Chain A
Amino acid sequence: MSKAIIKVENLFHSYMQGTPFEKEVLHGLSFEVYHGEKLAIVGPTQSGKSTLLQYFNAIFIPKKGRVIVDEQDTKDSRLNLKELRRKVAMLFQHPDSQLFKETVADDIAFGLKNMNFPEEVIEITIKKALATVGLDSNEFFYRYIFSLSGGEKKKVAIAGILALNPEILILDDPTAGLDPKGRVDFLNSIKFLHDKLGLTTIFVSSNMNDVVELADRVMILVDGKIEMIDIPENIFIKREKLLSYGLTLPSVVELVDELIKSGINVDEKIINIDQLEESLIKILNSS
């Protein structure tokens, strides 16, 4: 088992604490995120996913429980917040809430300037970051942000955080609102970043097909409690539970169920189309 880069111990969170409207939304979560893994966090709306994400880079500091990121307790008063937020990079759901400068280069430079990078290094760092997310720096360096497509904006937002050389990437519903080509492109660049830079990747997703494509492990968060945390095969086999939480199933899993119901005995553990193809070939060849 690889080493934990994030440890969450008995974490509670309440909104509007100390008022009559106080509401506890995370009820004592404990789990670990392993170094270099891709963890999906899945849950119905209002399950506490976005709240949880904000503990990883100390936007929230635990009042009850502990969050340890790379061996540092986020509650520790000696914590270097700037350094932590460089290490733990966050990509919001809407790139428009992250991009605010006029041009691509200015936007990526913003974080670098804040981290006191010397002028001469900045330009080359921007170009490298653009190349890493698959954007041609000749074409994109001076482009106006407003002239970019949704997928391009997301990539620029990622380039902006990659320039700071993070170790953990946090993505809040990364493919929502992208068209099919944008989605495939974007998933590929996340995979590429993970494989090339070894970034630990934590992503919230409402698209189960994304989960199947990206995740090494899946956490199911319902009403502020962890219902399951396991590898995708072990999660998606529990169909009825997932449906009872108001979640949907990956399209391949839905098809597998329909095939089994119609008497075509494919393996019920199948979660992706490659596995389905092999299973059908096996059945057809043996009949």
Chain B
Amino acid sequence: MIKINDLYFTYYPESENPQKALTAVSLSIKEGEFVSIIGQNGSGKTTLAKHLNAILTPTKGSVLIDGINTRNKENLWDVRKKVGMVFQNPENQIICSTVRSDISFGPENLGINRVEIENRVDKSIELMGLSKYQDYPPHMLSIGLKQKVTIAGVLAMGTKYIIFDEPTSMLDSLGKKEVFEVILNLRKKREVTIIYITHLMEEVLKSDRTIVMSEGKIVLDDSPKKIFSKLKILRSLSLDVPIIPDISSRLNKRGISIPSQIITTQEFVNCLKQL
């Protein structure tokens, strides 16, 4: 369980213009959940994510990972063992000369024995569908495959919680689908808890729970279905609206009433047929 209590964070607190990035954020995330976080650029999504593996520590308030307080520097390695992070650009995260050695790098640094490392690496290579590529130099791979390598690396660390910070935003449309597919697969197995920052509403729709951030605060925390029925709020925050709520609200304006909780194509079709 991740527990965030009344978290405040300010960048450059000692400087002339300190920037408040998070204000009174309280949140708990249960094991096995798939939580998506959306919000405009600058709303505090990444700042919040960086608190979960102690890249940042709170200015005020606390972050507890399975009861371990991130503020205490002695806990740093314990926190990082539990919480892994996948960034937007895989190029920033790949360092070794072959796929296999890159995936091994993380667990090797945890000081576990060789047999265990090899087991974990094999398992994550298989989960990410990278068997064919394990001896390739990473720079020969497409950016989508590179992103799978970074995810495999995080998995091999044995992390329980994985934070994804817009992992598909640099990929082409096919790459986006493929990488999101493997993430959904992880979720199905329920072995890891997924905290997923994105701008893509089709991805948000697949999560269990969605947190909407604006100006450093949590403004909504609900199921994606409920969130997407609040079109006015989403639009006021300049967020994308999925296509079904979008077309429904257009039809509503033309005098055809479609209830706001209609989100999926199937629901939309059924509703049209009953009109």
- Chain A: residues with CB nearer than 8 A to chain B? 44-45, 149-151, 176-177, 179-182, 206-208, 246-248, 251-252, 255, 258-259, 262-264, 273, 276-277, 280-281, 284, 287
Task: List 15 additional contacts besides A44-B174, A180-B199; criterion CB under 8 Å.
Answer: A45-B142, A149-B42, A150-B41, A206-B172, A247-B174, A251-B243, A258-B269, A259-B265, A259-B269, A263-B269, A273-B247, A277-B251, A280-B247, A280-B272, A287-B275
Closest Cβ–Cβ distance, residue B128 to chain A (whole Å): 19
Query: CB distance B170 to A284 under 8 Å?
Result: no
Cβ contacts B192-203/A at 8 Å (1 or 0 each): 000000010000
Give Cα distance in the complex from A182 to B238, angstroms: 10
| CB atoms of B41 and A207 under 8 A apart | no
Q: B109 interface residue, CB < 8 Å from A?
A: no
Task: Give complex CA distance A246, B173 in Å.
Answer: 9
Are the C-beta atoms of A180 and B240 separated by less than 8 Å? Answer: yes
Could you list some 22 contacts between A and B, CB below 8 A? Answer: A44-B174, A149-B41, A180-B199, A181-B40, A247-B173, A251-B243, A255-B247, A255-B265, A258-B269, A259-B269, A262-B265, A262-B266, A263-B269, A264-B272, A273-B247, A273-B250, A276-B247, A277-B251, A280-B251, A281-B254, A284-B272, A284-B275
Query: Which of A179, A246, A277 is the one whose CB lies under 8 Å from B199?
Result: A179
Contact of A180 with B238 in the complex, beta carbons under 8 Å = yes
Indicate if B88 sits at the interface (CB-CB under 8 A). yes
Chain B interface residues toward A at CB < 8 A:
40-42, 88, 142, 169-170, 172-175, 177, 199, 238-240, 243-244, 246-247, 250-251, 254, 256, 265-266, 269, 272-273, 275
Chain A hits for B42, CB < 8 A: 149
| Contact between chains at A284 and B142 (CB < 8 Å) | no
Which of A177, A179, A264 is B269 in contact with, Cβ under 8 Å? A264
Q: Which one of A182, A273, A284 lies within 8 Å of B243 (CB-CB)?
A: A273
Min CB distance A246 to B, Å, is 5
Instruction: Please give me the residue from chain B that is nearest to A249 by CB atom.
Output: B173
User: Chain A residues near B251 (CB, 8 Å)?
Assistant: 277, 280-281, 284
Q: Roughly how many angstroms separate A255 CA and B239 CA in the complex, as a whole number?
A: 20
A276 to B243 Cα, complex, angstroms: 11
Taking a contact as CB atoms under 8 Å apart, the answer to whether A177 and B88 are in contact is yes
Q: Distance (Å) between the CB of A268 and the closest chain B CB?
A: 16
- Complex-state Cα separation, A208 to B199, whole angstroms: 16
Question: How far, in whole Å, are A151 and B238 apart by their CA atoms in the complex?
Answer: 14
CB distance from B9 to the nearest CB of A (A): 19
A246 with B169: CB separation less than 8 A: no
Query: Hey, which chain B residues are within 8 Å of A262, CB to CB?
Result: 265-266, 269
With both beta carbons as reference points, the residue of chain A lying nearest to B42 in the complex is identified as A149
Residues of chain A within 8 A of B256, CB atoms compared: 280-281, 284
What's the least CB distance linking A54 to chain B, in Å? 19
Q: Which 10 interchain pairs have the tightest Cβ spacing?
A: A206-B172, A181-B238, A248-B173, A180-B240, A262-B269, A179-B41, A277-B250, A258-B265, A179-B199, A251-B243
